[in-house]
């Protein structure tokens, strides 16, 4: 499972922006992702930021689904009952 959030305006600044966006929506390999990042080398900002908070939310969602399948009533992360 993976999620990639991107800024459409930055992708569309390239001549092949529509094609890039289509590739992103379908899926990118790590090599394609790295090659895309090289196109942003002159940018003052990083092209990728680790989505720690998003990953935590994905983990919580996956755990909820898993525990529902096991008919477990709740689980606790950082003193929060889910």
pLDDT tens profile 40-72: 888 777 666 666 666 677 777 777 777 666 665
Residue numbers of the domain that contains 68: 50-82
**Does residue 6 sit in the same domain as residue 42?**
yes
> pLDDT per residue over 7-21, tens digit each?
888 889 899 999 999
Question: Using CA atoms, how far apart are residues 27 and 23, in angstroms rounded to an integer?
Answer: 6
Predicted confidence at residue 1, as pLDDT, reads 47
CA geometry: angle at 14 spanning 22 and 3, to 5°? Answer: 40
Q: How many domains does the chain have?
A: 2
**Does residue 39 sit in the same domain as residue 58?**
no
**Does residue 26 sit in the same domain as residue 54?**
no
User: 22 falls in which pLDDT band (50, 70, 90)?
Assistant: very high
**Does residue 42 sit in the same domain as residue 54?**
no
Identify whether the C-beta of residue 6 lies closer than 8 Å to the C-beta of residue 52. no
**Does residue 56 sit in the same domain as residue 35?**
no
**Does residue 44 sit in the same domain as residue 63?**
no
């Amino acid at each position: 499972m993976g999620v990639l959030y991107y800024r459409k305006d930055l992708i569309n600044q390239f001549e092949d922006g529509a094609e890039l966006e289509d590739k992103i929506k379908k899926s990118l390999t790590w090599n394609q992702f790295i090659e895309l990042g090289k196109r942003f080398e002159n940018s003052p900002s990083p092209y990728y930021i680790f989505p720690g908070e998003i990953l935590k939310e994905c983990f919580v969602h996956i755990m909820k689904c898993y525990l529902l399948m096991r008919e477990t009533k709740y689980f606790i992360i950082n003193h929060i009952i889910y």
